Amino acid sequence: MNAIQRHAPTSAAQHGEGPWLSIILPAHNEASCIEQVVGDFCAAAAALARADRGVEILVVDDASQDATAAIVRRVAPPTGVSVRVVQRTTQGGYGRALTTGFEAAAGTWLFFSDADGQFEADQLPGFLNAIKEDGVDMIIGYRSPRHDPWHRRLMGRLWTAVVRNALRVPARDVNCAFKAFRRSDVRRMRLSSDGALINAELLHKARRMDLTIAQRPVRHRARLSGDASGARPDVILRALGELLRYRVRSRWTRGGS
């Protein structure tokens, strides 16, 4: 896994059964905003923690060159919440950071979002209500409205259209980083994407497994700091190449579905 787990001692350790929810935040060089983002998710997690089972937050530091990991270790979480850093020694990309978090998580349910502050953490409790209200296996968000420059919104719509056509994934916003699902289901998927294709692979394999999926609107805002790389030509070309290779493999393994 090329990762070193760092544990922060917290009150959630008292829950012997393990947390019911793991919040996974992949991060790379997010020192300028990570304290605020983790703090916001700590507040949301405190509202979700149960008397018998807490909530854990895992920050997957993808070989950052700044103080991202050190800042997270200083966070003092509220009662019922634990915070851990899973630190990768080599940068593996967005998909690899997520799967590292999935493998390290202990929760019955897993949720992931980005560590750059684009999503307001306080909407998480309401978002997860679909677990009880709809009895679904997976909840996926779509940005409404999406606060990105016009070219990123255009690239997002085009990418979603390409993925929907290639993999028959009925998602309104494939790459929206606000998703929740059972740990047991994602373990069965054997996810392999290192980069931006991870969301498409996750949804495609969920469809193949006949998982029930609810889609919910989520509030989105511009990054708190730093620059997004998703619309760079090299990133787009790499994602398209990854999609093509995955599509070819899936045709061979499951007759093209």
Lowest mean pLDDT among 14-18, 128-132, 174-178, 211-215: 14-18
Give the pLDDT confidence score for residue 173 in this predicted structure.
Answer: 94
Instruction: List the Cα angle 15/21/26 in 5-degree steps.
Output: 120
Q: Which residues pair with 84 in a beta bridge?
A: 7, 58
What's the topology of domain 3-254?
Spore Coat Polysaccharide Biosynthesis Protein SpsA; Chain A (3.90.550)
Lowest mean pLDDT among 77-86, 233-242, 246-255: 246-255
pLDDT category at 251 given cuts 50, 70, 90 is low
> Could you give the count of Cα atoms lying within 13 Å of 224 in the half-sphere of its Cβ?
18
Give the pLDDT confidence score for residue 7 in this predicted structure.
Answer: 42
**234: pLDDT strictly greater than 90:** no
Q: Where are the beta strands (DSSP E) in the chain?
A: 3-7, 21-27, 55-62, 81-88, 109-113, 138-143, 178-182, 213-218
Give the pLDDT confidence score for residue 130 in this predicted structure.
Answer: 86
**Helix (H/G/I), strand (E/B), else coil: 81:** strand
Instruction: Say which residue, 108 or 248, is predicted with more confidence.
Output: 108
Give the pLDDT confidence score for residue 226 in this predicted structure.
Answer: 52
Tens-place pLDDT, residues 47-99: 999 878 999 999 999 999 999 999 999 999 999 999 999 999 999 889 999 99
Give the pLDDT confidence score for residue 231 in this predicted structure.
Answer: 53
Sheet with 213-218, side-by-side order of all strands: 3-7, 81-88, 55-62, 21-27, 109-113, 178-182, 138-143, 213-218
pLDDT category at 9 given cuts 50, 70, 90 is very low
CA 26 – CA 112 distance, rounded (Å)? 8
CA 140 – CA 176 distance, rounded (Å)? 8
Q: Which residues contact 82 (CB under 8 A, 6 or more apart)?
A: 8, 10, 11, 12, 13, 19, 54, 55, 56, 57
**227: pLDDT strictly greater than 90:** no
**Nearest in space to 100 (alpha carbons), one of 228, 4, 230:** 4
Q: Which two tokens stand for residue 177?
A: 């980083």
pLDDT category at 14 given cuts 50, 70, 90 is very low
**110: pLDDT strictly greater than 80:** yes
User: Residue 80 has what DSSP assignment?
Assistant: T
Domain spans in the chain, listed from the N-terminal domain onward: 3-254
